[in-house]
Amino acid sequence: MASVNAEVRDGIVPAAGSLAKTRDEGPATSGANYRLVALIIASALFMEFVDATVLATALPTMARDFGVRPQEMSVALTSYLLALAIFIPASGMIADRFGSRTVFRTAILLFVLGSLACGQALSLEMMVASRFLQGMGGAMMIPVGRLVLLRSVAKQDMVNAMSWLLVPALIGPIIGPPLGGLIVTYLDWRWIFYINLPMGVLGFYLVGRFIANIREDDPGRFDTPGFVLSGLSLGCLLFGFEMVSRPGEGLTASALIAIGLVTGLFYVLHARRRENKGESAILDLSLMRDNTFRLSVIAGSITRITQGAQPFLLPLMMQVGFGFSAARSGTITVATAVGSLAMKSFAPRVLRRFGFRRALVWNGVIATAGYAICGLFSPSWPVWTMFCVLALSGFFMSFQFTAYNTIAYDGIDKKQMSRATAFYSTFQQLMLSLGICVAAMALHLAMMAGGHQAPTLTDFSIAFWVVTAISLTATLWNLRFAPDAGSEISGHAPAEDDEPRKEAA
């Protein structure tokens, strides 16, 4: 294992001696102000989460200014998530080579420049390019920020540090929708991007002032062919799926999807060659040999179809279908974030009582059904009823992803943890992007079938039911988890009647 080289500034971060352990184990002691390091990283997380949730509320208004149909604005969300899917796998390797502080500051700078470009965009094409630049920054900002925390904080202080880190991440999605609604209703949608500028500049300064530039002495050879092949495959597939929903773009979409599949096959062959040579590919496919990790990736990916579609469909339905203002729509859709926040204290107790397998099976059905109910929403529904449905849906879906994200690494060796995190994070973003594409395509096909020029409530209902029907099939994969999967994490002891299924699994 390569040793870690730390550059220490002002006594805020751990001294080099405390970082002398292997990267898997982390430092022996934390710096005196490790909470400050956590809060600096959390500010970047807060900025990214607010930006994502604010934008969804502003899409219909932006569509009017750009002269496009509201459903075509899905590409503005997809381009950002695409950049995350392409660059997240490379973030760890880049940080090892150039240093975590250097990469973290560069990521913040890219995010700020992307935000400024988004605010100046005059067309959908300019917005897509600007959002992609933002996504390049976001792809490195969060993974590298977490890497900084893991390398700066000792195990005994990690829970405390994480509590400081997670609070802004939970607050961001709560204030994002109503903030976006207020900005769009009373100011101009461009201000949803300009609000990132002062926070980004402050974060850029604080990272340079208080965070160490930790890097590997021997980072190894960067997997350039793998990076190109995986990026080309993911890019072509996502934009191919996105263009399927556009009229007259069927041939282009088919060509992109075909190129994505072919380059994806080449990547698989490349990854196997790297593995045979004892080298790691940028996306390590050998991780899928672990049964628990594989099931979590597959079932979690299918479930994320709904999670990706929801922030795209809900604001459109309420503003275009119901005629609600952006401010009113934002105060309703914030319910999902409220439900997610309420779930955090329940997850450990539920998993201890029922175990991962049973909880994932039944909670997955409930969470998916909750979002299917959104297809029944209409302007005649009381606002408090829609708020409650969304809050409960957010509660159960947040639990589902908490369980997936926890159990995924149950059987992963510490030496593989960084690669597993990059692999898992990439598929998270990929499937969120695909969720937007599937929702836009389902909405477009429903409009075509009904002969509608603008989406109606029925079209939105069909789109919701299509994405939730896809996510419901994750139940088949959840049933394949062993009854005792993750028992050391949850503290759950499988019941005796589960033993036959355990042996069968």
pLDDT tens digits for range 392-441:
988 888 888 878 877 877 777 766 666 777 778 777 777 877 787 788 88
Q: Residue written as tokens 């263009």? A: 243
Surface-to-core class of residue 67, CB atoms within 10 Å of its CB (0-12 exposed, 13-18 middle, 19+ buried): exposed
User: DSSP letter at 363?
Assistant: H
User: Tell me: the pLDDT tens digits for 153-209?
Assistant: 664 555 455 556 655 655 666 666 677 777 877 788 888 888 888 888 888 888 877
Q: Which residues are CB-neighbours of 87 under 8 A, at least 6 positions away?
A: 135, 136, 139, 140
Residue 31 has pLDDT above 80, yes or no: no
Say how far apart CA 327 and CA 369 lie, in whole Å: 27
> How many of the other CB atoms lie within 10 Å of CB of 198?
10
- Residues 299-309 have a mean pLDDT of 87
Say how far apart CA 404 and CA 481 lie, in whole Å: 11
User: Tell me, what's the pLDDT at 154?
Assistant: 60
- Residues 137-147 have a mean pLDDT of 77
Angle at 57 (CA atoms; ends 129, 132), nearest 5 degrees? 15
- Residues 87-102 have a mean pLDDT of 78
- Residues 271-278 have a mean pLDDT of 82
Residue 113 has pLDDT above 90, yes or no: yes
Angle at 85 (CA atoms; ends 105, 291), nearest 5 degrees? 120
In the chain the first and final C-alpha atoms are separated, in Å, by 35
Say how far apart CA 494 and CA 379 lie, in whole Å: 46
Say how far apart CA 395 and CA 402 lie, in whole Å: 11
What b-and-e string marks burial along 86-112, b requiring 16 or more CB atoms within 10 Å of the CB?
bbbbbbbbbbbeebbbbbbbbbbebbb
Residue 211 has φ and ψ, to the nearest 5°, of: -115, 135
Confidence of residue 263 (pLDDT cuts 50, 70, 90): very high
- Residues 279-296 have a mean pLDDT of 84
To 10 degrees, the CA torsion angle through 115, 117, 123, 129?
-80
DSSP 300-362: HHHHHHHHHHHHHHHHHIIIIIS---HHHHHHHHTHHHHHHHHHTTTHHHHHHHHHHHHHHHH
| % of residues, the chain, pLDDT over 90 | 12
**Closest to 111 (Cα-Cα) out of 199, 209, 230, 215:** 199
Residue 453 has φ and ψ, to the nearest 5°, of: -80, -35
Say how far apart CA 179 and CA 192 lie, in whole Å: 8
4: which strand partners? 216
Q: How far is CA 479 from CA 140, 398, 473, 497, 500, in A?
A: 35, 19, 11, 15, 14
Q: For all residues of the chain together, what is the average pLDDT?
A: 77
- Residues 371-394 have a mean pLDDT of 90
**Closest to 135 (Cα-Cα) out of 175, 82, 95:** 82
User: Tell me: the pLDDT tens digits for 218-258?
Assistant: 666 778 888 888 888 887 887 777 676 666 667 887 888 89
| % of residues, the chain, pLDDT over 70 | 78
